Structure 1
Amino acid sequence: MTSIAQELSGRAKAMLRAVAAGRGQLSGGREPDLYVDGLPCCDQMVTHDLVHAGLLRARRVVGLNERVDAELTDEGRAAIA
């Protein structure tokens, strides 16, 4: 298990699992917001941390007022394995 996986909170892991299940979308921008089942995720800071840590990303580049499906990186999948 990587050190980043050991540092993840239960909430962060749940967010990653939701994305792995195909339930997540990210908004565009440098600090994207996560939406799960169409609803905004309440912990924007964790979303930003997951994106900046390279565990979570948008499937394609989008504009500021757009959303796109989110996906896990290889590191993100390893973190919840």
Structure 2
Amino acid sequence: MGETVLFDMLRQSLLIAVRMSAPLLAVALITGVVIGLFQALTSVQEMTLTFVPKVGLMLVVFWVSMSFMTTALSDFYLGEIIPLIAGS
């Protein structure tokens, strides 16, 4: 395996990882900003107020996007990794 193939696989792997984690990270960011704004406006400084909704929404988004993540990862393996291992 040459360097170009290795770097191309690494680039594609990182792109798949970003695509798979983007929905979860976006929900965590948006939820954190909204709850932080709420806490700043109301002067409520409860630590569980940021943690519980963020984890709950991330679980919901993970459950909804699980099929997308599984499809993206299996397509990557079947289309890129397995043929590379097989040598074709």
TM-score, length of structure 1 as denominator length: 0.24
Larger radius of gyration: 2
Q: Which has the higher strand share?
A: 1
Q: Which has the higher helix share?
A: 2
